[in-house]
Chains A and B, each alone.
Chain A
Amino acid sequence: MPGPIQSLERAAAILRLLAGGERRLGLSEVSASLGLAKGTAHGILRTLQQEGFVEQDLESGKYQLGAELLRLGQSYLDVHELRARALVWADDLARAGGETVYLGVLHQHGVLIVHHVFRPDDSRQVLEVGSMQPLHSTALGKVLLAHDPVARGELDEFPPETFTSRTLTDLAAIDEECALTRERGWSAAVEETWPGVASIGALIQDRRRNPVGAVCISGAVERVCEAGVVRPDLVVAVREAARAISRDLGAARF
């Protein structure tokens, strides 16, 4: 095992220095305090600045801790914030697609439903916010699984359950499905959890392009699929909704 990386140690020391005592320090103060050559300290500060961990005051030229560092400490996205930002787009997706829309996040080896928009036909439907769906056999779950190595690792310990004859339970097959989901940017689950139900999902990302959740459209297989595969127009609608929500969360346009 290689020893500690010197430049990382120095960067950490600079961050600690900026975090304590005086809030703003000049280059010479930083280099003097840590016994570093000015050129070395400057290089590290410049790199930290590029990453947003350090900011330089334009007038005095002094350095202080950057906003990015503060955000690291609270990086997870509040699911209620996610719902509030997604509301308009989820409504629009349900109306355009004529089917049910769910938003889900990873939670205890499954998908927690954080938002549910009814199918717009005014039939009797029950709000499913707070319920759980499986990871390996739903469109929401597959998207989240495909982008979360930890959740995938947990599948080794908790073997996937069989719900229908179409449920994928072989881990190699699931990995292949995840790879496909990452490659094409969307997932599908056709009668893999519930007979007669098909769903299409896509990933929601935050401003740092971290996966924060997934959105899916879900409905009767006869309406969501054509000739055995999910309808391309619905795939487009789901991906557009996911992009719009991500944009509202501050993700760059993509």
Chain B
Amino acid sequence: MTTTLSNGGQYIAAIDQGTTSSRCIIFGADGRIVAVDQQEHSQIFPQPGWVEHDGAEIWTRVQSVVAGALEKADLTRSDIRAIGITNQRETTILWDRHTGEPVHNALVWQDTRTEALCKELGRNVGQDRFRRETGLPLASYFAGPKIRWLLDNVEGLRERAEAGDILFGTMDSWVIWNLTGGPDGGVHVTDVTNASRTLLMNLHTLEWDAKILESMDVPAALLPEIRSSAEVYGNAVGVLEGVPVASALGDQQAALFGQTCFDEGEAKSTYGTGTFLLLNTGEKAVNSYHGLLTTVGYRIGDQKPVYALEGSIAVTGSLVQWLRDQLGIISTAAEIETLASTVQDNGGAYIVPAFSGLFAPYWRSDARGVITGLTRYVTKGHLARAVLEATAWQTREVVDAMAKDSGVTLTALKVDGGMTSNNLLMQNIADVLDAPVERPFVAETTALGAAYAAGLAVGFWPDLDTLRANWHRAAEWTPRMDQATRDREYKNWLKAVERTMGWIEEDEPTA
């Protein structure tokens, strides 16, 4: 294949800046993967509950995987039509705009140091103080309180920030700023999906909310310009010199886009250590009264934004890991299915993995995990089955909450992530949802979503229909459970959930 024009490239590069590693994946026009390169970065734990990343290291890794992927694919920058970015969400970094040096390690989304600050910010209203504007509860994940913590705790930072010398970014902003030149003309932008995880953006105007900035004491001079998820932000320098940087999407939103959930009512669920379910709610930002988050799904150029409801399940794959590493009942994660297949049902046992409380739709921090329904009859096979069923029922609870909030009934669930190789689990999810579960061919839906958005922005793909035509079903699980069994099992599951609540007393530390 010959390419003469620098903008005539036949491939799209996606940079996936994740929590444990950075990857660059190069896609062809049919959405198939041409090459992948990946590098892990250090996880820094200064004290219990604190998690940091070294921003400079991450930028080095990103540059390295971009070069690595090009080399593996035997391509040069002239073959790459556009670059898309997807990233771990909410992780917060502040840096000096003149030197490009971070002023502190990035505070990772999992970091809980802002818990007390969030309580304080809630004042007499509580954690829903900014929910109407932002769609989010005041929780330690989100970027706004992390910025405030850095301003309060890094000496002299507030003064420098107010003087306009400091820039804030989630990892998309950090990568794009560096990719487009850093101190020499780097563009300081973020996209609507990443901005919607800061607790600082108004969901309806898609602008930084002046009142919240004031309440949180964050100077506006720090903040990047909020742009759409698919447009050319600038051109790269370095290995990819001249290639347009043309998309940014938070990882879960990117997966929604990669799964081509472009219509209202379409949903995807990514099964990893935890699980993230996103439902496209169209042009409506749906308020949640059932413990879900309202977020921007994506925005293409100057089109209207598309909103989503998000439900996260903290413990899914990590429950299987717990069985492997803490109990030693299995030696690899895949063996859970072998063990679960030795029995016909759960033998009456239920496991609710409320390891650090119950999340959506309950949000009870006083809950702790239970294994219930035990009799002499129960074997490790039954427990293995209960482990898989826990993931299925938690999915069902989030899907039910989404139906209540949005009025949309799910017709099918598109799945991705490592746990989709578990056939029994996928069947179980179809059974308890009473809806088909579909797995697409490309497992890398996150990077694919970023590539799709970048390709759309530069005209590499003409429209959403073309992208949808790239989506192909690799497997489908259809419900086989009868209604009576489903009802009885759901009732038992809810009884088990009830037994987790109130375990932690008010005055006990919640560690």
Contact = CB atoms under 8 A, between A and B. Distances in A.
Contact of B476 (A79, A91, A121, A125): A125
Contacts of A95: 32, 441, 472
Interface string A121-146: 11001110100000000000000000
A125 B478 CA distance: 11
A80 B422 CA distance: 7
A117 B477 CA distance: 12
A116 B475 CA distance: 7
A118 B338 contact: no
B423 interface: yes
A120 B478 CA distance: 18
A78 B334 contact: yes
B472 A80 contact: no
A88 interface: yes
B421 A118 contact: no
A244 B419 CA distance: 21
Contacts of B332: 78, 81
Interface residues of B, number: 23
A80 B334 CA distance: 5
Contacts of A88: 443
Interface residues of A, number: 23
Contacts of A129: 423
A117 B475 CA distance: 6
A84 B420 CA distance: 9
Interface in B395-422: 418, 420-422
Contact of A94 (B333, B421, B474): B474
Contacts of B421: 80, 83-84, 87
B338 A79 contact: yes
Contacts of B442: 91
Contacts of A121: 472
A2 B247 CA distance: 75
A127 B334 contact: no
5 contacts: A80-B338, A87-B443, A115-B423, A118-B472, A122-B472
Interface of B: 32, 332-338, 418, 420-423, 441-443, 472-478
Interface of A: 78-81, 83-84, 87-88, 91-92, 94-95, 115-118, 120-122, 125-127, 129
Q: When A and B form their complex, which 10 residue pairs have the shortest distance between CB atoms, in order from nearest? A: A80-B334, A81-B334, A120-B472, A84-B421, A80-B337, A84-B334, A87-B421, A91-B441, A117-B474, A129-B423
